[in-house]
Structure 1
């Protein structure tokens, strides 16, 4: 799917002239249904602070949410508040003129010690912040501690050879080593991007800016390793739509995902720091620098809504406060980066320590970094491989992705 193509098709001018009608539609739209309790608290706090009534509205899965937002913006009916993504996804949104510049609120939050300038940069485009941080997450490998113990794995792997050895031991002990769903319209990129990242972080970055081809040697290596892992039976059935099912039912021992998922595991009855812990994924070679993906999700404010009702600025301040951060953390165990807030659980606190100790190269997640115009089509090609992980399909997927990629950058 293409965010910008949809906007263009119905006239960008229309999308920029939303008027004050948006202000009457005081909703906080989100695709994060598992975070309902926390998101509801945020909406309630923002309502109390501003005097407005802000209702939470949820649409899932993610691809349906994106389609809804495309239509809403193109039809002059963007919500006052809505969750989005940073990186190129935020840049594309800002280009439509819909997002409010939140510089005054960020300046105050930094002065108050709630956030840092580096955190502001996570939701900035050309130096200006266009979002309130909702989630700041490290992408780590979760593992079931009981499964590791049963398989005789004394400590988390620190090299790729140790990781493959752990997978073999887990399989021998009766577990599927890795939970790897293709659900939600986005998850196929997880292992593709991790294996490219582990092969060559520079190639990972190059895929997002057009300087590296999707059929380059490093991508070919990633697909080769990915296929070998499927052939060895390391992954769960990608058709499962409950993305955490196999991890929480303990049939799969590991799950590579953002540490925001720790709250969902806890809600399912797993205790963070006891039933599951985490480790940073090693590179495929000791010669390759270890990297970690840092995901940052913003809440965007409609410029038209804020212009129509300046009191909504108080809602923005509420969303950036420590009380909001703790409400989110205590209900759904998601961390928004507020420096005065408590870490939601032992896993998120431990992950902060893991990153501080290892000092890996921090990179923007592929989903946010890739141009939005080609994001959906690229993910579909990755998903095609997950459903048919053969060398022939790998070649076909790479060919399809590079055609999409080359056509996009040729148009720039």
Structure 2
């Protein structure tokens, strides 16, 4: 009974928003507008969206009206429903990987190949990022943000223990041993949602080709290379390197309080740390996570590229495409990076934070290989099985094979359906 009531409430809420989908403050039956509704699953980012909106209004005469959701499933249901209405969403957030392919192959998303061609030619976006927005040789959507997964660390603890940011995996493990010996938990972990973070770190840093082959069904989770990585993860767990995965304390609070010394997270985590009063360079720092295998020719860098899309039949498609084109540019990315306290995918953006600017410069000039975040790389049914399996694994470490077999069963079922 409660479930039915909840579904009805979600449906009612979605219906109310669908009635307004695609409209704006100056909407005249699909005519020219000076603002665009931007549907997103990042309700907490509304102040930053509004900050950038002021810049876009001055630059191109178009403002953003963010309409944010904080519940992912409700948001996904709303967006999918919106394509069945008369007014399709002008701008909306989504996911890359299989979820983007699903919308594209239904003809629901506007192509952006020409925008990507120009942005790459202008030096406004790395060529490597294009592949994550490509379906059947064409590009769709533009990158809302490109968060790189790095290691955040508590500077007070590092200074206290005489640890400098490691540049090799051996140095990282030595730092973990020193911290453990001093009674400090080296790394944060969780058994909900971000259960994949250490799997992606260990596998990309050991065998990036195998990591990518898993996402296409060309490799199996039961392959020796994957088992070896899981065994290494288990060894780290057995050594006591990780925090209680069931802790209800927010990770940013744990780093601030010194409950953990390091957190493996996307660069967007800067905002979380600032929200609890931590200052970059004073209270915390970040470093690029070293390769597990030092013989790798390049340094894999996990990137979280969330797209901003336009419906193929958007009510104000022309204005939405103009906004998307502007989003690639240095003024847009400078405003966005500084509003979010984050890196930008645009190497020409002027990031005010020196630490972030230095990290951005290192990534743009270094020999890095961008790897799609596991959350987007894995097909949804496989991801669901993996998140549950990894969560159980860190909660009660043991033989990883039962977990890997369950994930592979989900992968076999998924790829069999793809023909």
TM over 0.5: yes
Partner of 1:409: 415
Distance 1:344 1:234 in 2: 34
SS at structure 2 position matched to 1:304: coil
Distance 1:353 1:318 in 2: 22
The reply on whether 1:215 has 2:222 as its aligned counterpart is yes
Residue 100 of structure 1 deviates from its aligned partner by 0.9
Residue 224 and residue 80 in structure 1: after superposition, are their counterparts in 2 closer, same or farther (change >3 A)?
same
Partner of 1:199: 206
Residue 62 of structure 1 deviates from its aligned partner by 4.1
Distance 1:373 1:230 in 2: 26
SS at structure 2 position matched to 1:244: helix
Distance 1:213 1:379 in 2: 16
Listed as ranges, the matches of 1:378-397 within 5 Å are 378-391=386-399, 394-397=400-403
TM-score by length of 2: 0.80
Q: Which has the higher contact order (CA 8 A, sep 6+)?
A: 1
Distance 1:78 1:192 in 2: 38
1:336 to 344, 347, 363: 344
Listed as ranges, the matches of 1:26-65 within 5 Å are 27-43=37-53, 54-62=64-72, 65=75
SS at structure 1 position matched to 2:402: helix
Q: Which moved more, 1:253-262 or 1:87-96?
A: 87-96
Residue 142 of structure 1 deviates from its aligned partner by 1.6
Query: C-alpha deviations, 1:248-286, integer Å up to 9, x for none?
Result: 333211111122222332343222234322222233333
Residue 113 and residue 217 in structure 1: after superposition, are their counterparts in 2 closer, same or farther (change >3 A)?
closer
Partner of 1:167: 176
Q: Which moved more, 1:134-143 or 1:47-56?
A: 47-56
Partner of 1:257: 265
Query: C-alpha deviations, 1:140-175, integer Å up to 9, x for none?
Result: 11222221121222x222333322221121122232
Residue 312 and residue 205 in structure 1: after superposition, are their counterparts in 2 closer, same or farther (change >3 A)?
closer
Specify every segment of 5 or more residues in structure 1 that has no aligned partner in the other structure, as ranges.
Answer: 1-18
Listed as ranges, the matches of 1:126-205 within 5 Å are 126-153=136-163, 155-183=164-192, 185=193, 187-205=194-212
Residue 121 of structure 1 deviates from its aligned partner by 4.6
Distance 1:32 1:127 in 2: 29
Residues 103 and 129, structure 1, Cα contact 8 Å, conserved in 2: yes
Query: C-alpha deviations, 1:45-92, integer Å up to 9, x for none?
Result: 567778777531222354554454445557788633211233444323
2:310 to 293, 301, 311: 301
Residue 144 and residue 131 in structure 1: after superposition, are their counterparts in 2 closer, same or farther (change >3 A)?
same
Distance 1:103 1:197 in 2: 28
Residue 278 and residue 55 in structure 1: after superposition, are their counterparts in 2 closer, same or farther (change >3 A)?
same
How many residue pairs get matched? Answer: 388
Distance 2:170 2:142 in 1: 40
Residue 64 and residue 287 in structure 1: after superposition, are their counterparts in 2 closer, same or farther (change >3 A)?
farther
Query: C-alpha deviations, 1:103-126, integer Å up to 9, x for none?
Result: 344455456654455554543333
SS at structure 1 position matched to 2:263: strand
Distance 2:347 2:359 in 1: 15
1:230 to 219, 231, 237: 237
Distance 1:74 1:373 in 2: 25
Query: C-alpha deviations, 1:207-248, integer Å up to 9, x for none?
Result: 111121112212222222222222222222323363433123
Distance 2:77 2:223 in 1: 31
Residue 93 of structure 1 deviates from its aligned partner by 2.7
1:398 to 368, 385, 404: 404
Residue 385 and residue 59 in structure 1: after superposition, are their counterparts in 2 closer, same or farther (change >3 A)?
farther
Residue 408 of structure 1 deviates from its aligned partner by 1.4
Specify every segment of 5 or more residues in structure 2 that has no aligned partner in the other structure, as ranges.
Answer: 1-17, 25-35
Residues 268 and 342, structure 2, Cα contact 8 Å, conserved in 1: yes
The reply on whether 1:311 has 2:319 as its aligned counterpart is yes
Distance 1:212 1:368 in 2: 17
Residues 37 and 64, structure 2, Cα contact 8 Å, conserved in 1: yes
Residue 192 of structure 1 deviates from its aligned partner by 1.4
Residue 318 of structure 1 deviates from its aligned partner by 4.1
Partner of 1:100: 110
Distance 2:268 2:391 in 1: 23
Query: C-alpha deviations, 1:356-399, integer Å up to 9, x for none?
Result: 565243322222222234322322222222332233xx332111
Residue 44 and residue 130 in structure 1: after superposition, are their counterparts in 2 closer, same or farther (change >3 A)?
farther
2:378 to 351, 358, 370: 370
Listed as ranges, the matches of 1:66-81 within 5 Å are 66-73=76-83, 79-81=89-91
TM-score by length of 1: 0.82
Distance 1:254 1:65 in 2: 32
Residue 202 and residue 313 in structure 1: after superposition, are their counterparts in 2 closer, same or farther (change >3 A)?
closer
